[in-house]
């Protein structure tokens, strides 16, 4: 019997961690979430950690070096004093582990605990800290000497591969939407054609700064976490990711302005980057739609019915009208 995805029991996850890491005893575990990956909160006395068991079947992480890239990069950022949840070594010194699950082998890693809570509606100071933090990660990453490989979030991946995923999923259905996606893809590729593919404009990015992957502590200290979508790409794409989230929550305004102000305090954007922001918002939204189709064998197709396509096509059209077309 083929299994596409299993949920490892929290007690079993804690047993793995107790065996593989020097965390102290007794160690208890609770399932935090099971979405793109399975995350477990581990507690040993006053100490807390997060164990991630990576989900199989992702298009952007297909080999061991992909996982190691993320972990080695985060360890480097931590060494540079950047506010990220960082990987902790196993007893043998390795940052990455491998376990056997019903669906096959799954990699795992243990991360430091990020204190605090999500603040979706950040105040001006928090917004600027958030923007500054992203920029500092970008600049520090230009000095990172990668020993592993990781995917590029360029037009081939973000647009061409995404369009192919969507068309494969629709299987000839909704031809008017497919025609719209093709025209949009062509327009977006033309807009992004002039962006440089060199530092500081292009390099390692977090890939998922949507506003929910960071905590603020009670002392207002910021910690970023969940870099599963990291890779190489345009830095402005990271900003567009957050801008898209504010659009979806109808919170465009001072929050975005403050985030951008914080970012540019550390790394000012070029005119080309500023001009590309609206297109990058649509690129991100399109890529997420393609991602949703790839998870259909694990999360089901019920939520990807006509209502899904109607809502998201309307949203992309609306964003195009806001910028005067496209």
Identify whether 187 is part of a domain.
Answer: yes
Q: What is the pLDDT of residues 138-175, one digit of tens each?
A: 999 999 999 999 999 999 999 999 999 999 999 999 99
Task: Decide if 192 contacts 272 (C-beta within 8 A).
Answer: no
What is the per-residue pLDDT for 250? Answer: 76
pLDDT at 253: 64
Residues 196 and 309 in one domain: yes
Q: What's the CA dihedral at 140, 284, 248, 256 to 10 degrees?
A: 30
Whether 20 maps to a domain, the answer reads yes
State the CATH number of the domain containing residue 87.
3.30.200.20
The torsion defined by the Cα of 201, 258, 80 and 20, in degrees rounded to 10, comes to -100
Range of weakest confidence among 40-44, 106-110, 222-226, 292-296:
292-296
CA distance 165 to 135: 31
90 shares its domain with 148? no
The last residue of one of the domains, among 112, 132, 152, is: 112
- Please provide the DSSP assignment of 184-195 as one string: HHHHHHHHHTTS
Q: Provide the mean pLDDT of the chain.
A: 95
Q: Give the pLDDT mean for 33-62.
A: 95
Q: Verify that 159 and 290 share a domain, yes or no.
A: yes
Q: What is the pTM of this model?
A: 0.96
Is residue 89 located within the same domain as residue 144? Answer: no
pLDDT at 325: 43
Distance CA 109, CA 90 (A): 9
- CA dist 279 and 285 (Å) reads 10
Please check whether residues 239 and 309 belong to one and the same domain: yes
d(CA 111, CA 87): 4
Closest by CA to 24, choosing from 44, 41, 50, 51, is 44
Instruction: Say how many C-beta atoms besides its own lie within 10 A of residue 88's C-beta.
Output: 19
Cβ atoms of residues 268 and 141 within 8 Å: no
Report the pLDDT value the prediction gives residue 162, as an integer from 0 to 100: 97
Nearest to 229 by CA among 212, 216, 215, 217: 212
State which residues form the domain around 141.
124-322
Residues 100 and 136 reside in one and the same domain: no
For residue 16, report the phi and psi dihedrals to the nearest 5 degrees. -60, -45
pLDDT value for 321: 76
> 299 pLDDT band (50/70/90 cuts)?
confident
pLDDT confidence bin for 324, thresholds 50/70/90: low
Q: CA-CA distance, 153 to 131, in Å (whole number)?
A: 21
First-to-last CA distance in the chain?
Answer: 47
**Residue the block writes with tokens 């102000």:** 261
Residue where a domain stops, chosen among 112, 140, 171? 112
Q: How many domains does the chain have?
A: 2
Residue 320: the pLDDT is 84
- In a domain, residue 195? The reply is yes
Q: Looking at the structure, tell me whether residues 218 and 303 fall in a common domain.
A: yes
- pLDDT of 15 > 50? The answer is yes
**In-domain check, residue 135:** yes
pLDDT at residue 11 above 80?
Answer: yes
Domain boundary among 112, 132, 166: 112
Tens-digit pLDDT profile for residues 238-292? 999 999 999 998 766 679 999 999 999 999 999 999 999 999 999 999 999 999 9
Residue at 1 is within a domain: no
């Amino acid at each position: 019997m083929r299994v596409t995805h299993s949920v490892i029991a929290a007690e079993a996850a804690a047993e793995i961690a107790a065996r593989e890491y020097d965390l102290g005893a007794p160690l208890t575990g609770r399932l935090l979430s099971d979405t793109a990956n399975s995350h477990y909160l581990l507690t040993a006395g006053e100490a807390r950690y997060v164990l991630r068991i990576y989900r199989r079947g992702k298009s952007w992480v297909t080999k061991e070096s992909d996982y190691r890239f993320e972990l080695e990069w985060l360890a480097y950022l931590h060494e540079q004093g950047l506010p990220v949840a960082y990987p902790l070594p196993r007893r043998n010194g390795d940052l990455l582990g491998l376990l056997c699950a019903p669906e096959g082998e799954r990699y795992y890693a243990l991360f430091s605990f990020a204190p605090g809570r999500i603040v979706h509606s950040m105040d001006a100071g928090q917004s600027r800290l958030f923007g500054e933090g992203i920029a500092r990660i970008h600049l520090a990453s230009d000095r990172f000497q990668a020993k592993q490989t990781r995917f590029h979030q360029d037009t081939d991946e973000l647009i061409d591969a995404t369009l192919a995923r969507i068309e494969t999923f629709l299987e000839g259905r909704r031809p008017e939407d497919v025609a719209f996606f093709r025209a949009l893809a062509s327009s977006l590729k033309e807009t992004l054609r002039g962006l440089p593919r060199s530092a500081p404009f292009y390099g390692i990015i977090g890939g998922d700064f949507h506003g929910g992957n960071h905590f603020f502590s009670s002392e207002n200290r910021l910690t970023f976490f969940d870099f599963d979508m990291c890779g190489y790409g345009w830095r402005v794409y990271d900003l567009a990711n957050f801008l898209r989230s504010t659009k979806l929550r109808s919170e465009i305004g001072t929050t975005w302005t403050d985030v951008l102000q914080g970012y540019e305090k550390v790394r000012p954007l070029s005119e080309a980057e500023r001009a590309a922001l609206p297109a990058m918002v649509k690129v991100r939204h399109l890529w997420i739609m393609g991602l949703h189709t790839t998870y259909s064998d694990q999360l089901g197709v019920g939520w990807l019915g006509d209502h899904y396509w109607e809502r998201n096509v309307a949203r992309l059209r609306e964003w195009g009208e806001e910028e005067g077309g496209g």
